[in-house]
Chain A
């Protein structure tokens, strides 16, 4: 059952370090979405990527955050110089090329804790 895979599941970083979160979409899915869930909040959209292309990054913080989805390999969400406020659960979802009717399938998330 090759669903959306995310790793690591848990990540602890000290302030100022870098965090790299990986997401492997469902086989055959070409679109990836990243969402962030802060404590007591719903999921907030961050970025939407296609292979080698960022479609929509309107939800990404302007600094320190970047995302990529290379031709080969998983999608990476990178957070530089982490701060305590970055502590959250980060979820990745994938879908086939969307026609507005496609469902997004979610991974188990990466829980980032910044000390």
Chain B
């Protein structure tokens, strides 16, 4: 069965600090990978996605993620966070013939001004 692990439950950073959120998945076949963000009181929005090709994916708001197939990882990064990045971040995977997404438990990011 597919699963997604997000290592950090809650991350607290100061503005301008660099961010890396871990995501590992378990699935042996071809996968599509996603990062979603949920700002307080809002719905999930897509940050970025990987289907194939260049394993370094750039998304909105300065976020990027790197797919490392050998490590089954898809970590999210941002060089310099802002207070407005305070949100919960979800990694998700879609693999095989399934239409549905498998989500990690999420990482809450708090950025101190």
Interfacial residues, chain A to chain B (CB-CB below 8 A): 4, 31, 33, 35, 40-45, 48, 55-56, 59, 91, 93, 95, 98, 100-101, 103-109
Q: Are B105 and A103 in contact (CB-based, < 8 A)?
A: no
Nearest A-chain residue to B44, judged by Cβ:
A106
Q: Are B94 and A100 in contact (CB-based, < 8 A)?
A: yes
Interface size class of B (residues with CB under 8 A): 20 to 34
Residue among A4, A91, A104, A108 with max Cβ neighbours from chain B (10 Å)? A104
> In the complex, which residues of chain A have a beta carbon less than 8 angstroms from the beta carbon of B100?
33, 45, 48, 56, 59
Interfacial residues, chain B to chain A (CB-CB below 8 A): 4, 6, 32, 34, 36, 42-46, 49, 51, 90, 92, 94, 97-106
> In the complex, which residues of chain A have a beta carbon less than 8 angstroms from the beta carbon of B101?
33, 35, 43, 45, 93, 104
> In the complex, which residues of chain A have a beta carbon less than 8 angstroms from the beta carbon of B32?
100-101
> In the complex, which residues of chain A have a beta carbon less than 8 angstroms from the beta carbon of B90?
42-43
Q: How far is the CA of A73 from the CA of B4 in the complex (A)?
A: 34
List, sorted by A's number, 8 A–B pairs whose CB atoms are closer than 8 Å: A31-B99, A33-B99, A43-B103, A55-B99, A95-B99, A100-B32, A100-B97, A103-B49
Task: Answer whether A103 and B34 are a contact pair too, CB < 8 Å, given A43-B90, A91-B43.
Answer: yes
Q: Are B46 and A103 in contact (CB-based, < 8 A)?
A: yes
Q: How far is the CA of A43 from the CA of B70 in the complex (A)?
A: 26
> In the complex, which residues of chain B have a beta carbon less than 8 angstroms from the beta carbon of A108?
42-43
Q: Which 3 A-B pairs have the closest CB atoms?
A: A42-B103, A45-B100, A108-B43
- Min Cβ gap B58→A in Å is 16
Nearest A-chain residue to B43, judged by Cβ:
A108
- Min Cβ gap A14→B in Å is 25
- Min Cβ gap A33→B in Å is 6
Residue among B6, B100, B102 with max Cβ neighbours from chain A (10 Å)? B100
